[in-house]
Structure 1
Amino acid sequence: MSHRDIGYDADADSEYECLHCGEIVSEDSHPGTCSDCGTAMRNRQMPYE
């Protein structure tokens, strides 16, 4: 595995981050929108590029 590869465990929770207010949650599936401000959440393992 190279330093760019991300390990994947289907049973593990993923961290999601709101790009508007910075809220971070750990969920087993995509939460959709932020519970604080309603903005879309993004998986923190995905690069910005």
Structure 2
Amino acid sequence: MNHVVRDPVCGELIDGEKAAMVLSYKGELHHFCTVRCSKRFRHDPPRFISLK
């Protein structure tokens, strides 16, 4: 894996280059292992973003 990222919905580690979907939210890119995870995220992004 070149660019390892974590899917914010299911927590799976994936290669960012091979993500099924990439969405931008508040200026940050989020990578998803499946389209289903991206749809869940789109429905309610704050639910899946941890506040830092």
Higher strand share: 2
**TM-score for the superposition, normalised by structure 2:** 0.34
Larger radius of gyration: 1
Higher helix share: 2
**TM-score for the superposition, normalised by structure 1:** 0.35
